[in-house]
Each structure stands twice: as structure tokens, then as C-alpha cells.
Structure 1
């Protein structure tokens, strides 16, 4: 079955909350570290440490997905390239669990393969006398598999004045993770936007504040490739 998911843009670990069965509404959360994995032929395996700081047992499911972008839309499909073990486990209160992530096939030279791992809390039967709403946490963690000789990302900026959008295209060989996009223009308060991932061949798009859509615009992006800068001349109002 194909899984598709549109992310909140650029999150290193996206937390999704959904209501489920009945029990106390106090936070039933787990924690994980690290929040990103980088794999390759020199490091074909890695570990996640999942911990349960709550006072009740938690049931956690681990799933691996191939991650791609259709323009600026994220697409996920169940992965045959990653092994995640164990795929489901119970965490006692205060306990920790090592989740091992590994490659099923060698990294391809010159290519970056992006993936996502979902760690999802599974609904369990409430104990007798419990009532309320059970809140289930899902963490979405990026995994990048990088082959030998893979090139760098590239940043190509565009401003679309007609629809008021700032766009970052990445025709490079590796992803760009913009943690924060800062916009500066005369007679307008500086604005921060983001975060966002532009995968190889993908893009990010940010709606511009109305006060900045036609002004001379300077941008600075704090990214994992360093600080990216660009400038755009004023655009005539149509």
C-alpha cells in the first residue's frame, strides 16, 4: 500500500497528535534521540534511543518510508531499503528501547536517498476506571543515505510576485534543510519564516507578507549548507 503524507515543512522531527480511545488526557509522550540519521557505506547502521518518561506503559510502532518530493509536496512510500528493528515494542514506565536502523542495500555512489522513520504510539486498552481522551504521539525523523562522491546541494531562489511566494529550488545532489528564512525590506518589519526541506530536485515555497510582495527584498536562510543569501529588486504593482 502506498503511504502519502504532507509534512509541516522542514521539521527535523514532526510531532503529530491525534485523539483516540478513552483514558486520562494527561500527556502520554515518549522521547527519542537523535532526531536525524545519516547513513552510508561507511556507516550502514545506526541506533535510536526511545524512552518513556511517563508513569504508564506505552506501545510504539516503528515504520520506514522512502521520502520524495513532487515539486513542494512530500510523498512517502513504505521502504524496502531500510531495516527497522524492532518494528513494534512496549516501553515500561521509565524504560528505554534501542531501535536499530540499517541499510538493506549499499548506498549508490553519487546519490542521496532520503527516508523518513515514523515512531508512532499505538492505542492501548484503558485501565479500569480511566476516562478522557487518549492522545497519541507520532514522531517523523529524517534519514539520509548518502553514496560516495555525492555532490552538494544548490540553492536557486525565485520570487513570484503574482502569487506572493518566495521559492527555493534545489537542483543539487543533496538536500537543503532551511531552519529559518529571514526576510528584510525597507519600511517593513523583518520577518522570519520556515523551516523547510528541499530534497534533491525539490523545492520550498513560502508565502510572502503582503507588505513585502513588491518591495526590494533581501533574504537570509539559516541552512545545513550554511547561510544562504539573495536579493530581489522591487516589482511593479500590477
Structure 2
């Protein structure tokens, strides 16, 4: 998957982390004249990292897709969400990437190892984010100005999941803007949930729809806007929620 810069949004944003996100870290030019130099282009596989308590480490493949050398390093953060769904990331030493600094020649590929240093929890999922960050190098142009290239980073979720850990999601809907419903889903389980689609139906008629990649971590809730093509009449309806693992849940609701 080739990566190109776009603006960063929080991990809870519907379209950002499904499956991967690009963070525009810096665009700096230490002079008024030329445009900034272009950054390298790199890819990381997998874009979501799954481990079990028995896994001592997992392999991650990094590929330089560009025609210039790229230098990368990883930031490792514990990832949680507040009850209102706001993301919180705190640097952690629970994980280590080996080697910590990766230098790749043009079109080169390297396999690195991500290891968990602390004992895994036997009952709940441990959740992290690994941000693979390009280390930019300032370069001097012919007119003796200094340019700082765009620096890219790829943020990947990391899940260490014991067998008992499960999501436990409950959803409800209320009226929002015109021709839209606010769908609130809460996760009281011990593992993450990622909502890929929400359908509000009455019989075979689709009243409103949401598509995205919204993460709901344990203890948090998220509000998603499901939009319809016409005014939504009150009455009984069915709220269907589909998750990233292909499973779904249906809730009976009454629209006021």
C-alpha cells in the first residue's frame, strides 16, 4: 500500500484508521523561495497487528516504495479512549521494535520484529499504537537555502488478545440533523470493536446508513451520523451494526 500525505485526524474518526492512517507531521521551509522537497514513500505490512499472549514477537515488513533512501523510527504508545470516545495515547515501554531505527535504500524491504516486554493480560485485550515515522533530513538547494522535506508517519493499531477478551456493544439511535440519525454505540467489553457499517431499516426499506471504520475501545462510546435520502418517519425500526470481523448485531429501536 503506497502512502501519500494527508491531514491527520484522531483515531476515532470514522474513515481514518480503516485500515491505515497517514499523519502529515511537518512541512517546513527555512526560506521563502522554493517549495519543500518531497518525502519518501513507504509501506508497512500488516497495517493492523494482532498478537496472542503466547506470541513473543511478530514480524512487520517495511518497504521503501520510493527512489530515494528513507530513514524510519517507531513511536510506541498505549492507546485508550475516554468514556466519550476521545483518544488518549501515552508513550509506553511495554513494546519494543527491533531494530529501532530502519534505513532503507530505494525499493528495499526489511523485516523488523515487534515484541511485547510485559506479561500479557489473561482476561482483557492490551491495545497500543505503533507510529512508524520518517526521519527527515534537511537539504541545501542550489540557491543555498535550506529545505526540510515533508515527513510522513503511518499509525497502526496493535492488539494483544487473550481468548476470553470480547467486545460487548450496545447501540441506540436518536434524531440528529435533517434526514439523519445519531447512532450511539457503547462498548462495555474487554476488547475493541470497529464499526464498519450501520443500517437503520424498516422492513426492507433503508432509512439511514453510515459507512466508516470507527473504533470503540473498552469503556468508551462513539456517536456516528447515519444519513438517509429523505425524511425519516417515526416508529419502530431495526438498527443493524456490522463489524470489521464480518459479524453483525441487530437492535430493535423506536424512532420518536
Q: If the TM-score is normalised by the length of the shorter chain, which range does it land in? A: 0.7 to 0.9
Structure 1 residue 227 corresponds to structure 2 residue 240: no
Q: State how far apart, in whole Å, the 1-side matches of 2:96 and 2:186 are.
A: 31
Q: State how far apart, in whole Å, the 1-side matches of 2:72 and 2:232 are.
A: 45
- The one of 207, 215, 229 aligned to 2:225: 207
- The one of 164, 167, 172 aligned to 1:150: 164
**Secondary structure of the structure 1 residue equivalent to 2:107:** coil
Q: State how far apart, in whole Å, the 2-side matches of 1:41 and 1:122 are.
A: 32
**Matched positions, count:** 230
Checking the alignment, whether the CA contact within 8 Å between 2:197 and 2:210 is kept in structure 1 is yes
- The one of 50, 56, 74 aligned to 1:38: 50
Structure 1 residue 79 corresponds to structure 2 residue 63: no
Aligned CA distance change for structure 1 residues 212 and 168 (closer, same or farther; 3 Å): farther
1:151 deviation in Å? 3.4
Match of 2:5 in 1: none
Instruction: Please list the CA deviations of residues 39-90 of structure 1 after superposition, one character each: whole Å capped at 9, or x if unmatched.
Output: 2332121011111010111121211110101021111001121112222222
**Secondary structure of the structure 2 residue equivalent to 1:42:** coil
Higher alpha-carbon deviation: 203-212 or 103-112: 203-212
Structure 1 residue 96 corresponds to structure 2 residue 109: yes
Q: State how far apart, in whole Å, the 2-side matches of 1:168 and 1:25 are.
A: 43
Checking the alignment, whether the CA contact within 8 Å between 1:184 and 1:217 is kept in structure 2 is yes
Q: State how far apart, in whole Å, the 1-side matches of 2:206 and 2:252 are.
A: 15
Match of 1:166 in 2: 183
Q: State how far apart, in whole Å, the 1-side matches of 2:109 and 2:116 are.
A: 23
Checking the alignment, whether the CA contact within 8 Å between 2:172 and 2:251 is kept in structure 1 is no
Checking the alignment, whether the CA contact within 8 Å between 1:181 and 1:195 is kept in structure 2 is no
TM-score (norm 2): 0.77
Checking the alignment, whether the CA contact within 8 Å between 2:97 and 2:115 is kept in structure 1 is yes
Aligned CA distance change for structure 1 residues 157 and 96 (closer, same or farther; 3 Å): same
Aligned CA distance change for structure 1 residues 21 and 59 (closer, same or farther; 3 Å): farther
**Secondary structure of the structure 1 residue equivalent to 2:188:** coil
Structure 1 residue 135 corresponds to structure 2 residue 150: yes
Aligned CA distance change for structure 1 residues 61 and 139 (closer, same or farther; 3 Å): same
TM-score (norm 1): 0.82
Checking the alignment, whether the CA contact within 8 Å between 1:18 and 1:135 is kept in structure 2 is yes
Aligned CA distance change for structure 1 residues 190 and 75 (closer, same or farther; 3 Å): same
Instruction: Please list the CA deviations of residues 73-121 of structure 1 after superposition, one character each: whole Å capped at 9, or x if unmatched.
Output: 1110011211122222221111112221111112111111111100111
